[in-house]
Structure 1
Amino acid sequence: MILEGFYKISNTSVAGDSAVTTLKVNKDHEIYKGHFPGRPVTPGVVLMQLFKEEAERIFDRNLQLVRADNVKFTAVFDPTQDDELILDSHLTETGEFIKLKGEAKNKSGIVLKINSLYKVL
């Protein structure tokens, strides 16, 4: 896990090709000390990494991002306002690849939409 200490999983529900995971984000994590002091904002690349780590956990395999399409950051995720983040993913395994279509949400709405492709290592 690259994001050691950044979050804890509160709940995961997997049904067919869908997974919904609720994360509790650590608002005191080192990332927020530089991004940005006094106004913490979760970096977009960190939000993308959360989906990769969750797919690795669900499939119990190491993955490498091959492609990310239609990545849309629709809102700022500030953990001091709401420290819960929900990852809603649709995952499809095809041979040596895993396709993911996902949305990251908090109580205010969608924070990130992503379509990504990972290679199984």
Structure 2
Amino acid sequence: MRLIDSFFSVVEQADEACVTVRFHADHPIYRAHFPGNPITPGVCILKMIAELLELQGQKRLRIAVVKNLKFAAPIIPTDVPTVTIRFDKRTETETGIHVKGVVVQGEQVYTKFSLVYQYV
């Protein structure tokens, strides 16, 4: 299931290292997680990161290794409709991409990640 353009949309992409996205608070995922108090699921954040990397590299990816993942604060789409995903370090190999970065809005850090995605 693709999340781009249904669960979230790209608002701005200044370069490959910094992408601002908008959450669609009316998406069915939020009705299930949690009704009346929507919170962005962590698995959706991982999927968003993969889809943004796929757009940039034009190659399909799947999560291979979660080296480090910290959810510092919940992303409530009605309170925080947009966030910026910043890729601070990216290393491409023959088999995939190693990426480190953060999900932020202003000074607020929501997620820190160090992930390995494999090419499908």
TM-score, normalization by structure 1: 0.90
> Which structure 1 residue ranges, 4+ long, deviate > 6 Å from structure 2?
none
| Residue identity (%) | 30
Residue aligning to 2:3: 3
Residue aligning to 1:110: 109
Residue aligning to 1:95: 94
Matched, 1:73 2:74: no
For structure 1, the 5+ residue unaligned runs are none
Give the superposition deviation at 1:107: 4.2
Residue aligning to 1:38: 36
Q: Distance in 2 between matches of 1:44 and 1:22?
A: 17
Do the aligned partners of residues 107 and 79 (structure 1) sit closer, same or farther apart at CA in structure 2, a change above 3 Å counting? farther
- Tell me the alpha carbon deviations over residues 11-63 of structure 1, each in whole angstroms, 9 at most, x when there is no partner: 1122xxx5100001101111110111111101111111111111111111001
Q: Report how many residues are paired.
A: 118
Q: Provide the alpha-carbon RMSD of the alignment.
A: 1.4
Conserved 8 A contact 1:82-1:107:
no
**What secondary structure, in the 3-state scheme, does the structure 2 residue paired with 1:95 have?**
coil
- Between 1:41-50 and 1:104-113, the stretch displaced more is 104-113
